[in-house]
Amino acid sequence: MSVASRFVQRRSSSFAAACVVAILAAAAPALAQSGPAPTGTAPAASVVQEDDDAMKSLAEPDFVVVNLPTTLRLPRFGSNFRLTHRFAGNLRNGTFGQQAGNLFGIDQGAIIGFEYRFAIANRVQTAFYRSSFAKTIEVYGKYDVVRQRRSIPVSISPVASVEGSDNFQEKYAPAFGAAISRRVGTRFVGYVTPMWVHNTAPSLDAIGKRDTTYTGLGGRVRLGSSTYLASEVAVRVHGYAPDEPGYGVSIEKRVGGHMFSLTFTNTFATTFAQVARGGGGNSLFLGFNLGRKFF
C-alpha cells in the first residue's frame, strides 16, 4: 500500500471517529437543559406513559440514526414510511465552483430507496425496503424486547433481515444483530449495534460468499425543541471488510409526524449488507432521509 493510500485511509477513519465524538461533545451543553431528574415516587400516570409506545420520544425521533437501526418503538398497528436519497456526486472531487455547478451532486443522479414499516403486534415491527442500488429488496423484523426505565439502563431491540438484489432474485444476504441504546434525559441517546451479515462479498462463487461482523456506533443529540444532530460509523471487526468503514452524519428537523434528515455519508449504503461492505476512501455524498409516522 502506498504512503498516499495509507494517508487517505487514516484521514477517513479519523473523520469517521470524529463524527461520533462530535455528537458526544455536543451532548454536554444540551444535557444541561434537560432539567434535574425527578425525585421521589413516580405517580401511576408516569408508569403508564413509559409503557405507551405511541408517546413521542423527544430524544429518539426516528427509526434509524443515518442508516443503522434505533430502538424506537411503534404502537400496535402503527406504521412509518421512509424515503432515502443518496446523490451520486462526490463532494470531495473538483472545486467549489464545480460542485456548485452540479448543485453539490444533485445533478448527477441519486440512489433512491423507500421503506414501509408496520407494527404487527406490541413490540414487533416488520419492514419492507427497496433501494435502486442493484434493485435491492430487504425485508426485516425487529423485536423491542427491553425498554430503558428506572431499573433497566438500556433498551435492546434484536433485528433479523434478508436482502436480495435484482428484486430479491439473487445474492441473498441474511443478517442478525441488535440495536442497543442508552438515553440520557430528553436530549441525547447513544447506540451500539452489533451485526453479523452473510454473503457480503459481491461475487456469487464459493470464494465470494463471505461474512462480515461489524459494530455500529452512533448517537443523536437534540439541539433545540425539534432540531437534531446525528452521527454513526460501522466498524468491521471480522470477516470480509473491503474499502473504508461506512459513516454518516445528518442534520435533522422534526415537524409533527415528519422527520427530515440532511445526510452526508461516504457510501450509498442503506441496507445491512451494503453497510457491511463499507464506504469509499476520499468520498462524501450528499443525501437525505424523509420519514412520516402514521400513529
pLDDT, tens only, 219-258: 999 999 999 999 999 999 999 999 999 999 999 999 999 9
- 219 pairs with which residues across the strands? 190, 231
Calculate the alpha carbon distances from 213 to 41, 54, 176, 204 in Å.
43, 33, 10, 19
Residue labelled with grid coordinates 415528519 = 258
Q: How many CA atoms are closer than 13 Å to the CA of 254, on its beta-carbon side?
A: 22
In a domain? residue 192: yes
Q: How many CB atoms lie within 10 A of CB 132?
A: 16
Q: How far apart are CA 225 and CA 24, in angstroms?
A: 18
pTM score, whole prediction: 0.81
Q: Look at residue 267 and tell me if it is in a domain.
A: yes
Q: Return d(Cα 98, Cα 89) in angstroms, integer.
A: 11
What percent of the chain has a predicted confidence (pLDDT) above 70?
Answer: 80
Residue 125 in any domain: the answer is: yes
165 within some domain = yes
Domain that holds residue 237: 3-19+69-294
Neighbouring residues of 143: CB distance < 8 A, sequence distance ≥ 6:
123, 124, 125, 157, 158, 159
pLDDT of residue 230: 98
Quick one: pLDDT at residue 263? 98
Is residue 54 assigned to a domain? no
**What pLDDT, on a 0 to 100 scale, did the predictor assign at position 50?**
54
- Assess if residue 201 is contained within a domain: yes
Query: Which of these ranges, 7-16, 109-118, 208-217, 269-278, has the smallest mean pLDDT?
Result: 7-16
Question: In the chain, how many domains are there?
Answer: 1
Q: Is residue 63 situated within a structural domain?
A: no
User: Has residue 37 been placed in a domain?
Assistant: no
Q: How many CB atoms lie within 10 A of CB 159?
A: 20
Whether 66 has a pLDDT exceeding 70, the answer reads yes
C-alpha R_g of the chain: 19
State the Cα–Cα distance between residues 215 and 233, nearest whole angstrom.
8
3-state helix, strand, coil in the chain (%, to 5): 20, 45, 35
Q: Tell me, what CATH number does 186's domain have?
A: 2.40.160.40
